[in-house]
Chain A
């Protein structure tokens, strides 16, 4: 957020009107949301699952259109949805990440087992610092708090997979393998999370059987 000069006191651009928001959810996503809404007594409770759907639909992050779409689909205000989304670290609000998000746990047990050194290795190998994305848009590295797999420290999470214990060598192999994967693993993570919340019978309804 840039600091605005005092001289610029003209008011702000306005938020989009409902009719100006494009609804980009796929048909499948709409049906998934329908099923998820059945899980709760009110629409508001589906905000988190719906944000996951949105993160998948919008390619692994939540641009402002995604926030607006979730708000409209659940009858909430934009500000409220933005507030919820920015509270949780796994939603990437506003800025896309690389295709593969490497989340390195540096919390207590991992730190005891050398996570910071491991992170230095990954950072220098990819030439990026925390929160940065490689120029080819392939990798983003993020420091995360305890992933609760301390028996496998140091551990990292990429998409829905935990890797640990890892050392420089195994990390190199993992990165090498990921390079050949072109579909964004961040999207896969969101999809896995959505699917895990749908019963088998929900999924059958979504696929129309």
Chain B
């Protein structure tokens, strides 16, 4: 299947960033339609669309919206998770920079459907460009009467603010994001069944809808064209509907964001990105650093869909797809992945705090030539001691890539340990590997 540009349709159009250009292309029609509809009908439309959260977990969006109390007793908050931090993912960045109104419109629709009072866009601190674009768009939306008091004569008030993070991957986890927004260390909070769902007690203990940028951005299209229409996209898959933006990077000729219909294959995605660069395909991390790595064969057979990807041995995740060429040392790559999680672990729970650091230490030792055969078994054990035992998903996400690589590329680890250097070598490898290096030939 070719690229299906829906959210990114006007991404290259500079005028689309302003409210005028956006409305010229039919912007805010979805919101106007929603405001003319019954609140529940809006939620039903989202339900019909089959939209699932685009942040990584793939949770059905309508269930969150529907979970907000219908008889209002407290303020309701609409929270946008724009703390994109998953290595390999840069879709939200493009959406916020190029199509900020799309996301804002989606948030206002969510606000209308759930009787929201205030919306917050939590953007990671590094994304200053995004924050500027979103802030400008919010100002415009206020002036056009889509935000503020008595929106479009409905008598409904809705405010929206930008809140910037300050450097923490963990804050992309929804409950940690709420902690951070409330001025705390970005540590995750208790989740259901240990505590009420965010839709019951989220921000400041009030009902809160939290979705990813891309999820909100889908809402205007669903409202304009109908949920049933949206559900026709990706109908070839088991239970994934609509389009998904994949951020393609790594050793490809044309890295960038590609919006595809579910049911597209990874091979087609690679084709869109101009094919491999600097060598043949060795491996692929299809959904951001947290998902298990696929080898070339698995990659070429994988169909993109929430369930289909699991069958292929990995996950859709956040759509950060990295293709690795033949000169890549998997051991080094996985060490770097482990280093990322060790640095980003918030420290709240034992398995993640200690386990991620330990894994990084072992992999670092292996990559420096000091590996022991028993390290492979030890790493597997540590992964199983973290996976499912940590407080939040970060621990799982740290364990999966390591466990996955040990399963898919055991020979690379064994070779490295046995010989004290990588199975691959050459200038391309050495360009990728950090000092100190243990190449076969110096």
Contact = CB atoms under 8 A, between A and B. Distances in A.
Interface of A: 39, 41-42, 44-49, 51-52, 74, 83-84, 87-91, 106-109, 111-114, 116-117, 120, 144-153, 157, 160, 162, 189, 192-193, 195-201
Contacts of A150: 87-90, 247, 249-250, 255, 320, 322
Contacts, number: 185
A196 B128 contact: yes
Interface of B: 75, 84-90, 92-93, 123-129, 131-132, 134-135, 138-139, 142, 161-169, 180-186, 204, 247-251, 255-257, 285, 289, 320, 322, 324, 328, 332-333, 336-337, 340, 343-344, 346, 431-435
Interface centre among A148, A192, A199 (most CB of B within 10 A): A148
B163 A197 contact: yes
Contacts of B126: 90, 147-148, 157
Contacts of A109: 87-88, 249-250, 255, 322
A41 B255 CA distance: 42
Given A107-B336, A108-B285, A116 B434 contact: yes
A196 B250 CA distance: 31
Given A39-B161, A146-B87, A148-B89, A111 B285 contact: no
A90 B183 contact: no
6 contacts: A112-B250, A150-B89, A150-B255, A151-B90, A153-B255, A193-B131
Contacts of A192: 128, 131-132
The 9 closest A-B pairs by CB, nearest first: A89-B167, A47-B183, A150-B249, A88-B166, A90-B167, A196-B131, A160-B128, A116-B434, A146-B87
Contact of A112 (B165, B180, B185, B324): B324
Chain A facing B: main interface SS: helix
Given A48-B183, A91-B166, A150-B249, A108 B135 contact: no
B227 to A, nearest CB: 30
B245 to A, nearest CB: 12
B75 A41 contact: yes
Contacts of A106: 336, 434
Nearest to B159: A39
Contacts of A41: 75, 204
Contacts of A146: 85-88, 169, 289, 340
B88 A44 contact: no
